[in-house]
Amino acid sequence: MGGLGIFGTFATMVGDSLFAGDALLGGYLLGLITVFIVMISLTWIIGPYTKGYGFLISAGVGTMFVTLVQWWDQWPIIMIIVLILFTIIDPLGLRK
């Protein structure tokens, strides 16, 4: 874990400086920061045009980016898909 090229270098630098040399935690922290920045900026830009789904779209774009540069593993995407499906299907019948 560390990432591709310059992204792996960033994860290693953050891991070395904050987590005593753990590039995995450095990648997770950088990924979390990146997802929040992408969510805020894309929701601000495309929010009025998406009828309430701007937050989900921007979160998906940010998560896909940090997974593609290998800061996160593939399991966060699978977990997010499961949570979104659970929200849409509403198996507990919580929405009225």
The reply to whether 94 falls in a domain is: no
Model pTM score = 0.72
The pLDDT value given to residue 2: 52
The pLDDT value given to residue 54: 75
The reply to whether 37 falls in a domain is: yes
Residue 13 structural domain: 5-89
Total of domains in the chain: 1
The reply to whether 66 falls in a domain is: yes
pLDDT above 90 as % of the chain: 3
The reply to whether 95 falls in a domain is: no
Burial class (CB in 10 A: 0-12, 13-18, 19+), 63: buried
pLDDT above 70 as % of the chain: 94
The reply to whether 96 falls in a domain is: no
Q: Which two tokens stand for residue 33?
A: 């920061």
Extract the residue ranges of the chain whose pLDDT is less than 50: none
The pLDDT value given to residue 33: 92
